Amino acid sequence: MLRLANSHLIWLFWLTPAALVLIIYAYKRRKIERELFAGSVLLHKIAPDLSNGKILFKGILLTLAVFFLNWTIVDPQIGTKLEEVKREGVDIMVAVDVSASMTAEDVAPNRLLKAKHELSSFIDKLKGDRIGIIAFAGTAFVQCPLTLDYSAAKMYADILDTSLIPVQGTALAEAISIAEKSFTGESKAQRVLVIMTDGEDHEAQVQEAVESAKQKGIVIYTVGMGSPSGAPIPGKSGYLQDRKGSVVLSRLNEGLLTEIALSSGGGYFRATTGENELEKIYHKIFGMEKAELSAKQYTAYEDRFQYFAGIALLLLLAEILISEKKGAWQKFFQID
C-alpha cells in the first residue's frame, strides 16, 4: 500500500513542467544572444567546440532532477506489514446528515461543517473503539466501514459533502437500518449509533427502524444540528424558496431526535460551541463493557524518499560534470 507522507505538498510537481519551460526558454534566449553578439559564422570560429545539443541535454537533466526532488519532498511510503490489530472497545457507527438543509447557518459556520468538525474531534477521543461512518440524505450508504484506523476514518469524515447524495431528503430510517447491518454479527462488542442531523425527517418508518435496532442491542445517541427557530437554506442564488416565493426555513426537530434516542436507551444532545455533548457521549460510551476488537491494517510504513533523493543527486552531479563542449564523437560526425 502506497501513501504520501507529505501529500499536502503534491502541488510542487507543477515545478517540473515550469522548470522545463524555463530551461527551454533560457536555452533559446542564450542561443539568440550568442548569434546576435558574433553571428553564426563568426561564433563557429570563436567557439567551435560549443555544443547546443549538450547544453539542452544538461537542461533536461536539471528538469529530471527537479522531478525526483519533488518525489523526495512528498516522501512516498509503502505499507509493508498487514497485521491484525487487537484492542478492547466498543463498535460505533456515526450517521451524518448531508442533505441540503445541513447548509443552514444557524450553527457556525454551517450545520454540516460543524458536524464534520465534531466528528473529527470525537474520533480523536477514541481509544480502542472501532468507528464507522454513514452518510445520508434522501438515501444512505456506508461512507467508512468499522475500522480501528482513525486516520482513515478522519479522511472519510473530511470529504462528507451535500454533493455525495443527489437525492434530497432525510432518510433517518434507512440510515438506522444500514447501521444495524453494518455491525458484524460475530463481534461481541457493545453497539452504538450516533446520529448527527437536524432531524427534518418525513418518513413514517423511523420508529420501526429504531425498534429493530433496539432489539439488536444498539444504543442510539442523537446530536441536533441547528436551532428550533430555524434558518434559511442557502441556494445557488439567494435562499431556497417555496412555490409561493417564501423563504424556506429549516428547523431543528428536537422532539423526533429525543424520541429516537430515549427509545433505544441513549440520549439526545444539541450541538454547542464548546462541544460538551461529545464529552458526555464519549463518557457514556467509555463506561460501557468493552470487548476485544480486531481489524487488519497496515501498521508499518517505510520511507522511500531516499531512492528518489539518490537519483536526483546523480542527475545533478551528471549535469555539473558534463561539459558544454563537443565530445570527440561529435567532432568526428560533425554533430552540434
pLDDT of 40 reads: 56
pLDDT of 88 reads: 73
Residues 6+ positions from 97 with CB-CB distance below 8 Å: 111, 112, 115, 136, 137, 170, 195, 196, 197, 198, 225
173 and 201 part of one domain: yes
Look at residues 213, 255, 230 and name the one whose alpha carbon lies nearest to residue 95: 213
150 and 264 part of one domain: yes
69 and 111 part of one domain: no
310 and 283 part of one domain: no
* Alpha helices in 39-168, H assignment, sequence order: 40-46, 52-74, 111-125, 150-158
193 and 284 part of one domain: yes
Band (pLDDT 50/70/90 cuts) for residue 284 is confident
273 and 328 part of one domain: no
279 and 323 part of one domain: no
Band (pLDDT 50/70/90 cuts) for residue 93 is very high
Q: Residue 19 in contact with residue 63, Cβ under 8 Å?
A: yes
How much of the chain is in helix, strand and coil states, percent to nearest 5? 45, 25, 30
Band (pLDDT 50/70/90 cuts) for residue 153 is very high
Question: What is the rounded average pLDDT for all residues in the chain?
Answer: 84
Q: What is the pTM of this model?
A: 0.64
pLDDT of 81 reads: 59
Band (pLDDT 50/70/90 cuts) for residue 179 is very high
Average pLDDT over residues 140-144: 95
pLDDT of 330 reads: 47
Distance CA 87, CA 130 (A): 9
Sign of the dihedral defined by the CA atoms of residues 227, 228, 233, 234, in that order:
negative
26 and 143 part of one domain: no
One-letter amino acid of 223:
V
Look at residues 38, 31, 44 and name the one whose alpha carbon lies nearest to residue 334: 44
142 and 65 part of one domain: no
- CATH number of the domain encompassing residue 187: 3.40.50.410
201 and 270 part of one domain: yes
89 and 209 part of one domain: yes
Express each pLDDT in 124-134 by its tens digit: 998 888 899 99
21 and 138 part of one domain: no
Least confident window among 3-7, 146-150, 243-247, 298-302: 298-302
pLDDT of 328 reads: 47
How many domains does one find in the chain? 2
Residue 313 has pLDDT above 70, yes or no: yes
Domain housing 67: 2-75+304-333
